[in-house]
Amino acid sequence: MRFADVTADNADRLGFFCQMSRRKAAGWQRKLAWVSARLKEGMRIRLLRGAERGFIEYIPGEYAWRPVEAAGYCFVHCIWVVGRSKGKGLGGRLLDSCIEDARQAGMAGVAMVASEGNWLAGRSLLEGHGFEVADAAPPSFALMVRRFGRSRPPRFSGNWEQKAERFGPGLTVVRSDQCPYTDDAVTTLLAAAAEREVAGRVVELGSAAEVRRRSPSAYGTFGVVLDGRLVGYHYLLRKDADRLFARPG
C-alpha cells in the first residue's frame, strides 16, 4: 500500500484530504495554519495514494485535540476512507501504520475517541485491531486504547455538564480549526440564532490544553451549547440547526 505523509514542505500542495476542492475557503486556510503548527508538535497526516481515498491524522497524546488525558500515547484524531475505497481493508492499513509508528517511538500505545454517531470512527474497526474501551462519555463516545504494556490507560477529562453550564444563556458555538468543515457549521448556527433573536457567540479553542479544560463534550473540537446545555457536537446542516431551536425548553 502506498502512502504519502503530509509535511511542512508539502502541506499546501498535498493538503490534508478534506475540502480539497475548496482550498481558498476560510475553513481550509484555517486548517492549513493549524496543521502547520501541529506538525511541529509531532502530528502526522498520512494519505492513501493513487486511486484510493482516505487518510489518518495522529499526534502525541499530550498534544491531542480531544478532551483526554493521554500523555505517553499516540492519539488518533481522525481516520476516514471514502467512496469506492471502502471495504478494502484500507482503514486497517492506515491504522496499522500508526500503531507501528507508535511502537517505533516507544509510546505506551495508541488511543482514539470512537462513536456510533457522526464524524468519528465506530468501535468495530478499532476492536478488530486489539483496542479496548478505556473510558466512556455521553451520549455514545468510547475512548479506545491499544496498550503495548501495563501503562496507565488514558481517560476523558469529564465534567461535561458543568462545562456546558459555564457558557450561560443563548447560543454558544465552541470551535477549533481541527476540522475545515467547522466554518460552514458556525455560519449556519449563528444565522439560525439571529433569525430567532437569540444571542449567539463563538468561543475559540486555541490549544489542546484549552480543549481539555473547556470542551463540553468528548468530541472536543466542536460543540453547540444552548442555554447552558450541550445540544450538538458535530457539523450541522441548516435543517439540523432549525431543529435545535424548535426543541421545547
Encode pLDDT of 179-217 as tens digits. 999 999 999 999 999 999 999 999 999 999 999 999 999
Tell me what pLDDT residue 237 has. 81
Q: Is 170 helix (H, G, I), strand (E, B) or coil?
A: coil
Give phi and psi for 194, each to the nearest 5.
-60, -40
Residues 23 and 127 in one domain: yes
Residues 133 and 175 in one domain: no
Residues 144 and 179 in one domain: no
Helices (H) and strands (E) in the chain, counts: 8, 13
> Which helix (H) or strand (E) is 203 found in, with range?
strand 200-204
Give phi and psi for 66, each to the nearest 5.
-135, 150
pLDDT tens for 1-59 read 689 999 999 999 999 999 888 899 999 999 999 999 999 999 999 999 988 899 999 99
Residues 120 and 175 in one domain: no
pLDDT tens for 104-160 read 999 999 999 999 866 788 899 999 999 999 999 999 999 999 999 988 999 999 999
CB-CB neighbours of 22 under 10 Å: 15
**Domain of 50: which CATH number?**
3.40.630.30
Q: How confident is the model at residue 176 (pLDDT cuts 50, 70, 90)?
A: very high
199-224 burial string, b = 16+ CB within 10 Å, else e? ebeebebeebebbbebbbbbbbbbbb
Residues 139 and 114 in one domain: yes
Last-in-domain residue among 100, 126, 156: 156
Q: Kindly report whether the peptide bond that precedes residue 67 is cis, defined as omega within 30 degrees of 0.
A: no
Which residues lie across from 68 on neighbouring strands? 156
Residues 144 and 49 in one domain: yes
Q: Domain residues for 172?
A: 160-246
Residues 172 and 224 in one domain: yes
Q: Is 75 helix (H, G, I), strand (E, B) or coil?
A: strand
pLDDT over threshold 90, residue 248: no
Residues 102 and 221 in one domain: no
> Which pTM value belongs to this model?
0.94
pLDDT tens for 64-109 read 999 999 999 999 999 999 988 988 999 999 999 999 999 999 999 9
State how far the Cα of 176 lies from the Cα of 170, in Å rounded to an integer.
Answer: 20
Helices (H), the chain: 11-14, 26-39, 90-104, 123-127, 160-165, 182-195, 208-214, 238-246
Number of domains in the chain: 2
Tell me what pLDDT residue 247 has. 61
**Domain of 176: which CATH number?**
3.40.30.120
State how far the Cα of 14 lies from the Cα of 55, in Å rounded to an integer.
Answer: 12
Q: Is 106 helix (H, G, I), strand (E, B) or coil?
A: coil
Tell me what pLDDT residue 238 has. 83
pLDDT over threshold 60, residue 249: no
Instruction: Report whether 25 contacts 186 (CB < 8 A).
Output: no
Tell me what pLDDT residue 51 has. 84
Last-in-domain residue among 94, 124, 156: 156
Last-in-domain residue among 156, 184, 199: 156
Residues 214 and 229 in one domain: yes
Mean predicted confidence (pLDDT) in 171-176: 97
Residues 143 and 182 in one domain: no
Which set of grid coordinates corresponds to residue 236? Answer: 450541522
Residues 76 and 134 in one domain: yes
